[in-house]
Amino acid sequence: MRVRNQFLTAVGLSALCLGFALPALAEVTEQDILNDAKTTDDVVTYGLGPQAQRFSPLKALNRDTIKGLVPAWSFSFGGEKQRGQESQALVKDGVLYVTGSYSRLYAVDARTGEKKWEYNARLPEGILPCCDVVNRGAALYKDKVYFGTLDAKLVALDQKSGKVVWRKDIDDFKAGYSYTAAPIIVKGKIITGVSGGEFGVVGRVEARDAETGEVVWKRPVIEGHVGELNGKPSTMTGKVNETWPGDTWKFGGGATWLGGTYDPELNLIYFGTGNPGPWNSALRPGDNKWSASRLALNPDNGEIVWGFQTTPHDGWDYDGVNEFVPFDMQKDGKTVKAGATADRNGFFYVLDRTNGKFLSATPFVANINWAKGIDDNGRPIYDDANRPGDPAKSEDGKKGKSVYATPGFLGGKNWNPIAYSPDTKLFYVPANEWGMDIWNEPVNYKKGAAYLGAGFTIKPTFDTHIGSLKAIDPATKKVVWEYKNKAPLWAGVLTTAGNLVFTGTPEGFLKAFDAKTGEEVWKFQVGTGVVASPITWEQDGEQWVGVAAGWGGAVPLWGGEVAKATTGINQGGSFWAFKLPKSLASR
């Protein structure tokens, strides 16, 4: 954990709102949010719609016209806070909203790149972000823009001026809580999770009144903890000691650090939950529900409707936090209301999104060895020889048997979101091929201290590449095509009706691929690693593409041997906007 302290001293100086009056802005309505996947002149949600399929119906850009895509402007995030730009931008009424590392938010003229206003959170000393100083995006609703900060606060700003409307504590940053995800808006409520699983926090999902910031409900995801509804205790999650022995559930992890998706048809919120605490699985026998799981919740009261655990009794830090994307699947002549998720554990899961019933799981990375497969109920068939050993059974009691496990703890896929095209019926998954040496060590819970009980070294699976962008057919469970990248892939994916797939690389390229074949059809060098999620929108009759740029995130901090593949990449914090001029689009 020492590497974390290298950047914790770099904190914000003060809240700063600069700029000038903006023209009248239309409020972002609930209908705007629900229709975001269909509208083309704005991007008002994280994921281009509450289902987060990251598909745009725009088609002016295609494999033939994309050669005319050119930079329109680049906006610098400024100062020394360059690293770790993982934000997906939002666009509304000619204004682009993008968060920056170290808990900053900018409003920028979407046509010119001119800054309208800037907000810098005043970060205290001693913040404890696990995996760099990143922020993944904001939320828009009515006349406000919302985002979370590294010291575990939620902030509502006026869209026109950037002035603070309200600021609320999510939890105690001194206990290891933080916040990095983009919030979601559901039925007038702002829905968030928590970060901090490596510090023995207890994961939860909570809803606040978007106007006031007051809590409506809280739902802890670890069994034994009691929820809250309208300021009063509600129901317990599970039963005490059902799958957690003794007091282990009190510091059980399960951080909900990546945010959620929403299916308005079923009125269900879907959240993933992170690793159990500590990593040393010998200290917590049992399935450890609901860590490493996907949960469906009722947005009205926070009750869990169903749960599916991808890695029961996780011993490898295979967070189940990755996004669950609702989609309709055609299979055997029927339409299945499904959802898909590419898990850290290396399997691509398809579930019935109405009830959580397991439909399929397919390996999407090579050489998986922690499990021999997945049974008919969706439960892993463990290979006990590849679970890290109990240090209590070692000669010195200080280090358990080391094993080599694939994938590594950074996952077959990490936070960087997948995309789904209803045109091709394919998911596009930014995967990584790596494994790890991992061993267990003794550990006790202490507030604000790392709660791992493990050591590890990540190693690449292949000499030729680590990153692997894969197109997966969820119905046939086949990989249709693959693009191999020398360095790890850490950026999100966007797909369009123009038969294109966009993503970025640590080597500094924003790239576009043919969605059906995987052929690379365009690239542009932005000068620093791209670890953010691209967007596209229509403006003045032209199709635009935008992406934040700035190398950072977990790979250079935790990557071990694989970090060598990214040595020498320059840091930089900026947002790049590209457009296809009308004259070229019409050719």
Q: Which CATH number belongs to the domain containing residue 316 in this structure?
A: 2.140.10.10
3-38 core/surface letters (b: 16 or more CB in 10 A; e: else):
ebeebeeebbeebebeeeebeebeebeeebbbebbe
- The answer to whether the CB of 375 falls within 8 A of the CB of 410 is no
In a domain, residue 149? The reply is: yes
In a domain, residue 484? The reply is: yes
- Percentage, residues of the chain above pLDDT 70: 95
As a whole number of angstroms, the distance between CA 351 and CA 360 comes to 7
As a whole number of angstroms, the distance between CA 409 and CA 389 comes to 16
In a domain, residue 43? The reply is: no
- The answer to whether the CB of 575 falls within 8 A of the CB of 549 is yes
pTM: 0.94
As a whole number of angstroms, the distance between CA 289 and CA 221 comes to 8
In a domain, residue 119? The reply is: yes
As a whole number of angstroms, the distance between CA 23 and CA 336 comes to 45
pLDDT at 586: 56
Token pair of 321, please? 């936090």
65-86 core/surface letters (b: 16 or more CB in 10 A; e: else):
bbebbeebbebebeeebbbbbb
User: Would you place residue 518 in the very low, low, confident or very high pLDDT band (cuts 50, 70, 90)?
Assistant: very high
For the cut 50, the answer to whether the pLDDT of residue 19 exceeds it is: no
Instruction: Give the closest residue to 179 by CA, choosing from 211, 214, 203, 157.
Output: 203
Annotated active-site positions, please?
A: 317
In a domain, residue 426? The reply is: yes
In a domain, residue 438? The reply is: yes
Determine which helix (DSSP H) or strand (DSSP E) holds 584, and give its type and residue range.
helix 582-585
Query: How many structural domains does the chain have?
Result: 1
pLDDT at 15: 39
pLDDT at 587: 56
Give the list of residues 6+ apart from residue 286 with CB closer than 8 angstroms, or none.
243, 244, 245, 313
For the segment 524-549, the average pLDDT, to the nearest whole number, is 97
In a domain, residue 479? The reply is: yes
* Full residue range of the structural domain in which residue 449 is found: 2-20+28-37+49-585
In a domain, residue 44? The reply is: no
Pairing of strands 494-496, 55-56: parallel
pLDDT digits (tens, 9 = 90+) for 457-481: 999 999 999 999 999 999 999 999 9
Residues recorded for the chain: 587
